[in-house]
Structures are given as C-alpha cells and as structure tokens.
Amino acid sequence: MSTYVVTNPATGDKSAPFAQNTDAQIAQAVELAHETHQTWSKRTSIAERSALIEKVAELHRVRRDELAEIIVREMGKPLAQALGEVDFTADIYSFYATHGERFLADEPIVEFEGDGEAFIRRSSLGALLGIMPWNFPYYQVARFAGPNLVLGNTILLKHASQCPESAGAMAKMFVDAGFPAGAYQNLYADSKQIATIVADPRVQGVSLTGSERAGAAVAELAGRHLKKVVLELGGSDPFILLSTDDMDATVESAVSARNDNNGQACNAGKRFIVLDTHYDEFLSKFSAALLASVPSDPMDEDTYLGPLSSAGAADGLEEQVSRAVAQGATVVARGDRNGTFFSSVVLTDITPKMDAHHEEFFGPVALVYKVKDEAEAVAVANDTPFGLGSYLFSTDKAQVMRVADQIEAGMVYVNGVGLDSPELPFGGIKRSGFGRELGRFGIEEFVNRKLIRILK
C-alpha cells in the first residue's frame, strides 16, 4: 500500500493523505486509455494534438508560481530552481508542439530502387504507462508525455508517492487544455496495481525514471509480457578536468554540476577527476565554494542549496559517507548537518575497493580523484556501473574529441554544465538504462514505424 502524502522536508509539515485508487478505478483507467486511443487518437491529426500540447505549455507558464511552490513543499527544491523547472517543462511541451508534424512526417526509403514507392509512416501504439520520480516532478513527466501525446499514444501516469499534489496539478492542466479524459490520467497506485497495469495487454509500453532496483523489476515484468520499456536510472557522472584557462569559472561549473537540485539529479557530476597539475588548486577552490553555500529555506528566492527530499534520504546519504570514511576515504571538507539540511561533503582517496567508488551519492557529496594523465582520467571515468552523462573540461579541441569518443556514457557535455535543452536527446547506457527522451529521438521510442510499399 502506497501512502500519497506531501511531507515538507524543510519543516516536517504533512498534508492529509491523498486517496489511493481502488483496483476498480485502475481497471477503468486502463479501459478508458485504450478506448481513447482507439477513438480520439485515431480521429485527430498531429496538428490538432500539437495544438493541445501547446496549451499545456501555456498553462505551465500561466500557473508558474503555483506549480513551483508545490514542488518546493514536496521535495525541497529551492524556489528559483523550481521556477526554472516549470519554465523548462513548458519549453519541452512547446518543442514537441512545434516540431511534431515534421518529426512524424512520412519518410521515403531513398535506398529503395524497385518499382513504385516505399516509405515509413509513423503511428502510435496505444496506452502507455509512465512511472516517474520525485526529483523533477514536472520535467520528467514532460519528457515522456509531451512527445507521446503528440504522436497519439495515451498516458497512464504513476508519480512518486511524495509528489501527489504536483501529480494532480498536472492532470488538471491536461483536462483544462482540452484533452479528453482518457488521454492523460494520473494514478495514485501501489506496486501491485502497477504490476497489473504492466501485464494488461491493452498497455503497449512502459517508461520508468528511477532507481536501478525499480528499473530492473519493471523491465523484468515488462519483458515477461513482451512490452517495450524505456529506462532512465541512476548515474555517477564523471566531471573530468584536463585543462582550463579559467579555474574559477571551472570551479563554478563544478559546483553547479554537483549541487544543483540539492545534489539530487541522476546526471549530476558526482566524481571529479582532475589532472595532477590542476588538482591542488581545484580541490582547494572547489571545497571552499561548496562550503560557502549553506543549506537554507527553499522558499527564499536567494537560496541555492535547500534540504534533501526527506529524512530517509538524508540518513541514507549520511550512512554512505560514514561507510566511505570507515573504508579509508578522507573527508577534505564538510559543513554541518541539521536534519534534512545536509551541507556539502568532499571526499578524496577513494579507491576501487571501496563501495563509494561504485555507488551513486544522491546529495551534495563530491568524490575527487587525482590522475596523472588523460588515459588514467578515461579509465577512472569509465570504472563505474553507470553510464548516463559526463562532463569534460579541456582547452584542447583534439583532446576533447579524442576523450569524448572514449567516455562510456550516453551524453558528453564539454566545457559547460546545465546545457540540457529540449532539442537534445537524454539517456544513458550500462546500468543507467536504455532508450532516449527529448529531441527527435524522444518521439521515436513508442512508435510503429510502418512500412508502406506501393507498386505502380
């Protein structure tokens, strides 16, 4: 049984529980999603669906302040960053509203040399299930729902149990934008009910963003029922510094890479791999900059670092740090902890024998490595079970291209952080999952690429 309740991590205040859907309501939702796909989706054009998605984008902009304050309460995101998430979310919906027709246009098979013509026509699959996390409550949904509703798939959305208010606010926007009741449905469901939905033959695919454990469980169940799955799981992204002509700017980027969203992002820079000639200067300035940001009230518009999402998250991160130290890691810098308000921690002397070398730290904890050359930097960067994103800083373009080719990750960002954009595909490899969201590739995951061959 899941408990859907808002617990403000900054204050401990709790909302009244949100009622979980009954099994009968879940069954009705699946049937409605299927029927809506059979009727509304197949009777509307891409242009019509795109116009509705643009209305969803506009409602995000109109309700910007209200939406941002909800997620500050739900998971402690600093207000300025919450407003930024709402803005980015609106841009994602607008992106697919603008480009959906072009992405889904018939594609001639230019290599075909036979009589007549042959082309690919893209069409929807049916009802899809989305299982979303708490750390980016609006943005994560937009990456999944935006392209698929333009395509014509219908959405069953199960959000994290600590995000029931934002989940309800999103569902209302789809209705207010003019989507029919079965196009997008929010579900307050537990894991047993989700398993029933995945097994239902009317549901054609599943997208999950979350932990490795959750991803493995859903992928196993979906595979048993021959369902397409997209997974965006954990990450321990390397931040590789080989050269820089502005150390202060590089350190500023490193702080953002580690601590944006209170350090709770799958694609945050978590392992800082620094060439020995820059190591001492970087470590000193980086540690000082991290400690200068003291966790404070997330509703204050000047706050950069707020609380972790829950007491459990803070306790779990504390245990990881303690275990790393017990295994031989050195604490170079650390601020105070006050409940969920978790100050930054900098650890060095991490070795492959330690748990910390292979784990994801979901909070403001940075691991800093010293390497002697480019080859060792690449080796350390790739010595991880994850492969989501990566950050590479170098003033040598040839080196950038050489190292970027060797990094085992789904994304490489060079000489900058926070470079995500609706146009750019997002996703990883190894235990970070598979499939892509955003950009043109984000609308290609749950699609029927139907061959049409016409003989003269």
Query: Among 258, 215, 260, which residue's Cα sits nearest to residue 81?
Result: 260
Q: CB–CB of 363/315 below 8 Å?
A: no
Helix (H) or strand (E) run with residue 342 in it: strand 341-342
Q: CB–CB of 340/308 below 8 Å?
A: yes
Structure-token pair, residue 409: 């990750």
From the number of C-beta atoms within 10 Å of its C-beta (0-12, 13-18, 19+), residue 322 rates as exposed
Q: CB–CB of 438/425 below 8 Å?
A: yes
Tell me if residue 48 falls in helix, strand or coil: helix
How many Å is the Cα radius of gyration of the chain? 23
Distance CA 262, CA 264 (A): 5
Q: CB–CB of 411/428 below 8 Å?
A: yes
Concatenated DSSP letters for 178-237?
T--TTTEEEE---HHHHHHHHH-TTEEEEEEES-HHHHHHHHHHHHHTT-EEEEE----E
Amino acid at site 64: R
Instruction: Determine which one of 74, 266, 360, 445 is catalytic.
Output: 266
Distance CA 157, CA 189 (A): 9
At how many degrees (to 10) do helices 46-62 and 139-151 cross? 160
Tell me if residue 4 falls in helix, strand or coil: strand
Strand-pair category, 127-131 with 203-209? parallel
The gap from C-alpha 181 to its chain's centroid, in whole angstroms, comes to 26
Told to judge if 266 belongs to the known catalytic residues of this protein, a careful annotator would answer: yes
Instruction: Determine which one of 54, 232, 437, 445 is catalytic.
Output: 232
Query: Among 86, 77, 426, 424, which residue's Cα sits nearest to residue 264?
Result: 77
What residues act catalytically? Answer: 232, 266
